[in-house]
Each structure stands twice: as structure tokens, then as C-alpha cells.
Amino acid sequence: MAKIIWTRTDEAPLLATYSLKPVVEAFAATAGIEVETRDISLAGRILAQFADQLPEEQKVSDALAELGAMAKTPEANIIKLPNISASVPQLKAAVKELQEQGYDLPEYEDAKDRYAAVIGSNVNPVLREGNSDRRAPVAVKNFVKKFPHRMGEWSADSKTNVATMAADDFRANEKSVIMDEADTVVIKHVAADGTETVLKDSLPLLKGEVIDGTFISAKALDAFLLEQVKRAKEEGILFSAHMKATMMKVSDPIIFGHIVRAYFADVYAQYGEQLLAAGLNGENGLAAIYAGLDKLDNGAEIKAAFDKGLEEGPDLAMVNSAKGITNLHVPSDVIIDASMPAMIRTSGQMWNKDDQTQDTLAVIPDSSYAGVYQTVIDDCRANGAFDPTTMGTVPNVGLMAQKAEEYGSHDKTFRIDADGKVQVVASNGDVLIEHDVEKGDIWRACQTKDAPIQDWVKLAVNRARLSGMPAVFWLDPARAHDRTLTSLVEKYLGDHDTEGLDIQILSPVEATQHAVDRIRRGEDTISVTGNVLRDYNTDLFPILELGTSAKMLSVVPLMAGGGLFETGAGGSAPKHVQQVIEENHLRWDSLGEFLALAESFRHELNTRGNTKAGILADALDRATEKLLNEEKSPSRKVGEIDNRGSHFWLATYWADELTNQTEDAELAETFKPVAEALNSQAADIDAALINEQGKPVDLGGYYAPSEEKTSEVMRPVAAFNEIIDSLKK
């Protein structure tokens, strides 16, 4: 029997799964497709790491490893929902909850090495055995043109800008080589006195693989940050930091700590020795510092110094003004690919402590991609906000297969302990890459295999041909890695028929302006980018175009022939869970799941000739478009339609479409009584779903909710459940 794997993840997508997956299972079964679950949630990943220490009844399999192996097979058909890319505070909270549920897990501090496999984005690199094809579906784009989202009004006098380093950062210091032959290299540190320390003792590289090394200077970083704190204060604008501390799980928390210490420079000048000795270096955010001060004898005194720093420093952008949660409180609260587009959409402003929007200095220390955001800001300042009713689209073809580029660099990123050199050394002793470094610098290497690069170029050409859109490779001639990639792109483009296609290579800044100019004219442009820019662009442009990146279609054609279908970006929405607990209203929009599911069914048609799956896919697309046009997407407000109501209406419209189609009489006959039952009881079911709202609910856990309790909350109407479950009989 054919199988679709539906991933169990975290937070809002997990809650939505309890409501949507029974519908998916029932409809898929009519095409002979089984829908299985694999648990790659944060809680599930933690338990898998310690399976050897848990009793038999508590053991869980390593579902992520299983899916990683499956992704390398032609049979793979995986629907991947957003998961938590855990920061240390999130990890500790999940561990505490599991301990309270009876799991004998060690504290984080006692098993850091094992927990390191769970911190950050360890999920996506394992599953992404193919490159990324993300685009706005036509139905979604048409809907937005009819019902545009609100865009903040830009002022030509806006003081909002990006601040980034001009030198001595990752971009400036990068070196890149292509391996002539397969080899296993060593990364080592050679101190000024000649002492050698192996940082990574065995790094296998394939022939043709790109290996890069670079570092960011701690001294230059600190000088830059102090200047930005001063600048924000002088200009009377908000100070905000924009990082990816969950994905760049080694480098960015360290940089985040530098930012916190720079903002509170006076506090660290006075109490720094004591704070650092207590581990309160800012890398886990200001909230962790405040929590840690309780353990210090003079904690109240130091807390007063931090409060004074907040009062006298530049105003901070806020994550939650009502609760006093600043941009510097938790590293995972402000993620650049979501925070920067949201700021640009809101007049280039962020929220201040008075819950008002204000111009902002967006501090992005490394300059590799900062210019992309500055270019859009400059364009909005000159030309005003974009118009969703007329603007074009910027789909993306992203190089991400097999841990390509920076997002696969965690195990090759190091904080330097002493002045000296870092070297990447071949097995024959040749030094491939070398940097002079100082204590405190952050050095990293990253890899990009040749096969994914070839596949990336092929995918870009195919998408340009199929869509009729011009395609632009975003490659920076000032970056060593991008110069290397440019040479390979030019080489591999020669393997394809590009006659009549418009394919260019531009720097990210030039490519951004090119794309922006075109979308203002209503024209479409494919951005062909590396891994990090893939992540940034597939939030930046969709948030401007569609109001959210969750409405993107995200297809990963796996290199072995299978398919990975991601349910859009947009994170796992912790605030949505909070609203469910307080008001029993889930505003998470499952549109991304609907779009991914249709492509998953279509994959079964294209690879295994399952015509019923193809009919399910086409009917689902039509149902999704009707759902949008009938405004049955979740509302943000309690007492109005929420995620569960949206699932009900999707099931109704989907059953209608399957009943009315004429390609498969058996399917039409199967769904006719289902459609009749859903439509005849629609008013009652819809009202019952809304009536469930307005009161607190108990999910039995946040990271590991109770199966029984959560199912009751997310499937509260027996009449609807009985109709859906009848399809399985």
C-alpha cells in the first residue's frame, strides 16, 4: 500500500494535526494510500536521544533518522510541518516538562553533548535530500489580489535602516576551495606558541565538493555593536537585533551574547567578571540573565544596574510590550527571516515599550545578506509600500540539499580560545585554508557538495522553462564562496538547453533591486539562491506579497526520486498555542498543509500512476480555492472560525468536488453520501465548533501534550468526526 508520511512536530502545527490528519487519512484511504505519522517533535527528538537510558515502555524510535534514510529512497513521500528549532531555553523547558511527566532525563548541564544533537535546526538538514522549489500558488495569489492584506504606510522621512559590519565579518574573511579529489581533512588551531589543537579530526569531502572557511572578529564585532547602540540613542530610534540563533546554533547565540553585552556595556564593565563566572554572558538572552541573578548574593543590585541600562540606553524593540519582553530577552524570539519582513511590512517600524510602532535600527552584524533588507527598505522609503493587488511574485529555487552551505556548519563552528591560526589541512599535509585569528573570534567552515549544485542549476532551468519567468542567481562577487559557485553555475548551465530563457547572475543587492523593480511593475522573477538566502527570501517576499509565508507552496524534489512537501514557512507559532490554552481558539492557518498535501497526492500520480490520487489532488486544489474565496480561513478572534472550522469547511468543499468530478465514478459514489451529510449538518457543526471556544483548556502539556486531551480539544464535535471516520470503514 502506498504511504504518505505526515510528520508530528510542535506547537500550533501539532495541534492542527490532531484536527486535520483524521480528514487526510480518511480521504487518502479512498485512493489506497495510508497516512503514517513520524514524531520529529522537540520532545520526540529528546526522548530518542536518551532511548538507551529509558525503560522499555518509554522508549521511542529515532524517527528523524528513519525519515532521513527514507528521504534517500525513490519511495519517499513526506509531508513536513514546521518544527521547533530549539534554543537552549526551549530545550530546557521541554526537558523539564518531560521530567514532570515521568521521564528520567538528565539536566541539560549534565549532558550538553547529547542534547547538542537536538538544539537548533537538526531536522531540516537531515530530511532535505533535495533542493527547494517554493512559490506562491496561483489560487493564493489571486485571492490576495481580491482581498489584500494591510500594508503599513512608508514615510520618505523614515529613519529605519540596517546596520551591518563593513569589514572583519564572515563575508569579508571567507576563503573557498573546490576539492580536486576526495579526501578527509582536519581542522585545527595552531596557537602563537606552536601548540596545536584539533578542532575537527575527520571531515570527509567528495571530489568536486566546495569547502569554505571564514571567521568574524570578536574585537571588530564589539566595536561595531557599541557604535550601533550609540547611533540608535542619538537618532532616537529603536535598537533591534536580528539573528538566526536557532539555525546557526553555534555562531549566532555567541553573537547574540556580544549584542547583549554591548547594550549593557556599563553593567558588564562593573559586574562582568561576576556575571561571566556565573555563565550570565547574554548568549541565552536577557531573560536568562534575570533568572540567574536570583542565585547571586548581590543579584538585586545587579538587576537594578540592568534596569538602569534599559532606562538610559536606546529604546529596545519589543517582542511583547505588555509583558516587557524585549528584543534581547530570548534569542529565539526574534528570528531575522520573520522579523525583518514584518518590520518592512509595518512601515519599517517595530513595537516599542509603549506598544506603539517606531522607526528602528535593525542590527545584522554579518554583512553577507544584510544588504538585501537595506535595499528593500531604501526602495520603500523612496517609492512607498508595495501594493499586494498589483505586485508580482518572487518564487525561489534554493540550494539546500545534503546540508549545503551555512545551515550545515554547526559541527564546524568554533569559538577560538587563543590567538593563532585556524587551518584546514588535507591528508597529505597541504593547508587548504588558513586564517589568522584572535581569542574570542568565531570561525566556521561549511560544505556544499557538487551533486546538489548540479541539481540546483537543473531545477532553476526547469522552473524558468516551465514558468516562463526570468531566473536570477543571487551570487556575491565579494564573497569567496559565491565566486566559486558562480564558476560552477556557469559551467553547469552549459549542460542544459537555455535557449530563449532569461537567466542572469547578480549580487544579492543587485538581484534584490532587480526583483523589487519588477514586482512593482507586476512582473515575476525567480530568485535562485543559496541555503540561507532561500530561507530569507521565502519569508521576505511572501510576507510582502501574501501577508504570510505560510501560504507558500514548498516542494523539495528529492534527488533519489522521492518527494518532500513542506507546509510553508512561518514557524511553529507559540503564541497560537497560548491562545488555545486561554481561549480554546486556534488561529493557525493550515493552508500550507492543504497545498503540500495536494502536491503529495500529485506525486503519487506522477511516480506510481495512482490516478485516484491525482483526482484527490485536483479536487483539493479546487476546494482550497473555494475555502479562500468563501473566507473560511481561521480568524484571529475568539468566537469566530478557527483552525478546526477551517478543516471542517475544507472537508466539505473537498467532498463536494470529489462528488461532482466525472473522471472517476467510484470516487464520486464514495463521496456522495459524505458530501450530503456534511452539507446537511454544516450549520450545526460550524456552530458547535465555534461554541467550543471562549474557555481555557488543558492539553496535558506544551511540548508533549496528552494524546487523549488534545484529541478531545481538537475534535470536539462528534457529528463531524463520525462522518469523516465513516470513510475508513
Residue ranges of the binding site for substrate: 121-128
- For the annotated binding site for D-threo-isocitrate, the residues are 134, 534
166 CB burial (10 A radius; 0-12, 13-18, 19+): exposed
Paired strand residues for 243: 335
Strand-pair category, 563-566 with 77-80 = parallel
Grid cell for residue 215? 571567521
Task: Report the C-alpha gap between 209 and 224 in whole angstroms.
Answer: 34
Helix axes 450-467, 480-493, angle to 10 degrees: 60
CB 19 within 8 A of CB 714: yes
User: CA separation (Å) from 487 to 155, 178, 180, 210, 260?
Assistant: 41, 11, 15, 12, 40
Q: Could you tell me which residues are annotated as the binding site for NADP(+)?
A: 80-85, 124, 571-572, 576, 587-589, 636
CB-CB contact of 153 with 384 (8 Å)? yes
For residues 504 and 260, give the distance between their C-alpha atoms in angstroms, rounded to a whole number.
40
End-to-end CA distance of the chain: 17
Q: Where are the alpha helices (DSSP H) in 278-335?
A: 286-293, 299-312
Q: Which residues fall in the annotated binding site for Mg(2+)?
A: 337, 535, 539
Q: Which helix (H) or strand (E) holds 112?
A: helix 112-115
Q: Are 341 and 218 in contact (CB under 8 A)?
A: no
**C-beta separation of 577 from 702 below 8 A:** yes
Distance of CA 285 to the CA centre of its chain: 20
**How many other CB atoms are found less than 10 A from the CB of residue 516?**
23
* Element holding 91 (H helix, E strand): helix 88-100
Residue stretches of the annotated binding site: 80-85, 121-128, 134, 337, 534-535, 539, 571-572, 576, 587-589, 636
Measure the CA–CA gap between 399 and 389, rounded to whole angstroms.
30
Distances (CA, A) of 259 to 286, 316, 321, 340, 527: 11, 12, 20, 17, 31
